[in-house]
Every structure is written in structure tokens, then in C-alpha cells.
Copies of this chain bind each other. A is one copy, B any other.
Amino acid sequence: MQTTYPDATTESINAALQEAHIAFLSYKNFSNKKKAEFLSAIADEIEALDQILVSTAMRETNLPEARIVNERGRTTGHCRMFATLVEEGSWVEARVDTALPNRMPAPKPDIRKMLVPIGPVVVFGAANFPLAYSTAGGDTISALAAGCPVIVKAHPAHPETSGLVAVAIKKAIEKCGLPGGVFQHLYGVGFQVGQSLVKHPLTKAVGFTGSLAGGKALFDLANQRPEPIPVFAEMSSINPVILLPESLSRNFEKTAASLAASITLGVGQFCTNPGLILAVEGTGLVKFMEFLGNEIQKAMPGTMLHQGIADNYAKKLAQALAQKGVTIEGQSSATGTTAQGKPLVASVLAESFIKNPTLAEEVFGPFSLIVKCKSLDELNTVANRMQGQLTASVFGEEGEISNCSSLMNVLVEKAGRLIINGVPTGVEVCPSMQHGGPFPATTDSRFSAVGTDAIRRFSRPVAFQNFPDSLLPDELKESNPLAIWRLYNGVWNKK
């Protein structure tokens, strides 16, 4: 097993992109069936790694076995989900408008449109999902499904895990007889490798999950290129949870228990961790805070993904607690080590929160801040001033939510996913999932990083006008040989 991971050189980066570009020109034309076989083969090869993958990932990330096994299931799950999607074929959103040669004043030509892959994609593995958002993560697999070659820059926190998965993908490439440039894997600890990959003229899109600073830097770099390219960066979200008074006064205990579990899940290292709780002052809130404080006190510190994340948590937590008006409402009674994240919840008055933007910054780890509002009006004001989020949750009775229409109206503008009576952690992988919200949650709220629609990020539409049938892609041929859903002269059908 490789134990050192030297940074990719300028030459190897250039060679990788050249190879990816050449592979692209053939890979994009492989049949849907072939691409589906490849994606399924990746799942098979990841499973074949068996216990070595689990133990390596555990060692490199400090995550427990159950979590890694679960995450492996999620990874092979999305490989097979995209295999099914690609084999079925309707994802290309085919539209057909047939000619009207006798139309006046001018004839209407035959035009047909479909999505095509965008080109070589650079993916930055995420630290917090060493399998599901790393080497064979959602970005990589959705890009491969779209027909784009992928170059992964391994996350430095789990190089060996990343390397194992890369070998699995390479085996799948061989098994399916695909060009080697369809998937490549590079190492790079500093910024240099990532920057060179994003700046390379043959790179056509970027996938990233990580910090706001990192994602924004890549976004800026990509936009400053002679040819700007899209960057899909999932960055920073504090996932506000709003507790409405009527429900809170009845369900404070249950709500506190589910939020405590969500805050501490995976040592708080989820992009959907509930970092902000908004509620109106009253006995319901007092009891809720007491219960939540107790739950957090009982929670154990956990070893974080790597020392950098633990240090950052300690620093950001200290910064939050040092702000004016912030009171600790409960913290883990165990001491913990410097490598561990210690669960903690604090509170602050809404008027202080509104004045102090530092309090709205993400504290990546098992922390949440309760914002105590004097009234629903003040809660609305806080919601109105929030930045973009991945999610927003509302705990409330159906009737009282219905009475908060202006609040709900604003939340739609603030988040990519709204949840009623549920915590934000737990991101379902399905067609209706939206994992992406207004900036700074992501760089592009129009796309999702999770679920089948993630494939759209790596595609663009092309129209074919006046093409003889034999020269059209199968998706657009008159007889619809792939039997996909198409908008044919304005009517959806599979004919």
C-alpha cells in the first residue's frame, strides 16, 4: 500500500487533462447500456474491496464501522441508481419539433434537442464523506453518468481510502473496455494542484464539497479563466430550525431529543447539521432548552475527521461563545481530547443575533445556537435576514404553520429544502431531493448535488436542426429506438 502521496506535477496534471479530453471524445458516444454497465461495475468493485476499505476508511477518518458500512451502501447505491437512470435514458430531456414546410410566412424546420455531456470534470473529494462524497462520490458518479470523464483530487485526509476506491474504478474501466482517461486520480496537499486543475483549459466543470473559503476560491478562479466554467461548490450552511410556539409547548421534550441527536450525529460533521434554532421566548422554550441542555450534557465528545477540523471547531466555537450575549445552555460533561469535538448548545437574544453577523457563521461540529425571539414578528425579521441555506426546518402544528404564511414564503427564498417537523440531517437520495441552496450554501442554487438531478450539472443542451434521421443521436431519431420520454410536438410521450 502506498504510504506517501506526492503532489501531482504540472506535467502530470496537463497529461491527465489531455487524456481526459481524448477519452471524452469517445466515452460520450458509448451507449447508455455500456455506461450503465460501467457504473454498476464500479459498485461491484467497491464491494469487492470488502473489509480492507472499511478498515482503511475507519483508520483515516475516525468514523465508526457502522457509519462507514452505511456510507459504502450509499455510494454503491448511487452508482446503481445512476446506472438505472442512464440505461433508461430519459434524463437527456429530449424535445422534438417536426418540420412544417408549408408554414407561412416561413417554413418551420425540424429541430430536436437533448442534453449532452459538458466535458472533463474535476472533482475535489470531501473530508466528511470519505466514500459517498469523495472518490466515487455523488459528483464523480453523476459526471460519469452524464458522459464526462472525471479527474479526482484525493482529499488529503483520507488518501489511502481514496486510492483504494480509485483502483476499484480503474478495474471497472478495464472490465468494461473503456479508455483509461475516463477516470484519473491525483494527489495534492497544497492549493497548487487544485488551482492548476481548475485553471486548465480542458477542464469544463468542477465539483467541490467543503469550506466556504475553499469553494469560493475555486469559484473565483473558474470565473476568472479566459473561458469561465461552472463550479458546483457545496460550502456553508447552518440549517435553521424554527420552533413554533404551540408545537413547542406540547412537544418540547420530543423536539429536544431529536435535535440533540441531529446536532451530535457524526460529531456534527454534516453539511446539514442544525446550527441555528429560532424560537419565541416562553415556557415552551425554557423547557425545551432545559431538555436539550441535558441531552447535550449526556452526549460524548467524538474524535473528528482530522486534527485540522477539530482545531477549527475549537476555534470557531470559542469565537461564537466570546460574542456578546451568548450563554452556554448545555455542554458535554466529558472532558475529551484536542482531537475530539465536544457537543455544546448556547443561546442568544434575537436582537444581539441580528446585530452580529459573526453569530451566523457556520461552526462545523456538534454545536447549535438558540436564538430567542421576543415575538413571531422578531423571528420573521431574523428569518428575513438569513443568508442562503441548504435546508430550513419548521416544527409546528399544521394550523400554526398555516398561519405563518409570510414566514414560509420567505423560507422558500432562503433554502433548497424545507422540512416540516423533521431534522435536516439525513439526505435522501432520490429524484425529488434538492441538495443545494442560495449562496453561500452553494455556488449555484439551480442544481442539486444529491439525487438523480445531480447529473444535470454536467450537461448542456444541444439542438439538431434539419438533420437526416441517420445522423441524429438515437435519443432523437424519429422512431425513438431507445423508447425514452420526449416532448414531441409539445406532448410528452414515449412513442
Which residues of A pack against B, CB within 8 Å? 25, 29, 70, 90, 95-97, 105-106, 108-109, 111-113, 116, 118-119, 219-220, 223, 227-228, 230, 387-388, 398, 401-402, 406, 408-410, 412-413, 415-422, 426, 428, 430-434, 436, 438-440, 443-446, 448, 453, 459-468, 470-471, 485, 487, 490, 492
20 example contacts (A-B, Cβ-Cβ < 8 A) are as follows A25-B406, A25-B410, A70-B105, A90-B492, A97-B432, A97-B433, A106-B426, A113-B433, A118-B445, A219-B228, A398-B471, A416-B463, A418-B463, A418-B467, A421-B466, A433-B463, A445-B460, A446-B459, A446-B460, A453-B461
| Chain B proximity of A385: nearest CB distance (Å) | 11
**Docked-complex contact A416 and B109, CB < 8 angstroms:** no
Which residue in chain B gives the minimum CB-CB distance to A116? B412
| Chain B proximity of A444: nearest CB distance (Å) | 8
**Docked-complex contact B228 and A439, CB < 8 angstroms:** yes
Which residue in chain B gives the minimum CB-CB distance to A94? B432
**Docked-complex contact B492 and A485, CB < 8 angstroms:** yes
| Given A419-B466, A470-B398, A446 contacting B113 (CB threshold 8 A) | no
Measured between alpha carbons, how far is A422 from B466 in the docked complex, in Å?
7
Measured between alpha carbons, how far is A467 from B95 in the docked complex, in Å?
33
**Docked-complex contact A463 and B446, CB < 8 angstroms:** no
Choose from B417, B430, B459, B462 the contact partner of A418 (Cβ within 8 Å). Answer: B462
Measured between alpha carbons, how far is A463 from B437 in the docked complex, in Å?
10
On chain B, the residues within 8 Å of A421 by CB distance are 466
**Docked-complex contact A462 and B416, CB < 8 angstroms:** yes
Choose from B29, B97, B228, B418 the contact partner of A431 (Cβ within 8 Å). Answer: B97
On chain B, the residues within 8 Å of A118 by CB distance are 445-446
**Docked-complex contact A388 and B227, CB < 8 angstroms:** yes
**Docked-complex contact A432 and B463, CB < 8 angstroms:** yes
Measured between alpha carbons, how far is A489 from B364 in the docked complex, in Å?
34
| Chain B proximity of A365: nearest CB distance (Å) | 23
Which residue in chain B gives the minimum CB-CB distance to A453? B461
**Docked-complex contact A25 and B448, CB < 8 angstroms:** no
**Docked-complex contact B470 and A402, CB < 8 angstroms:** yes
| Given A228-B443, A417-B462, A430 contacting B111 (CB threshold 8 A) | yes
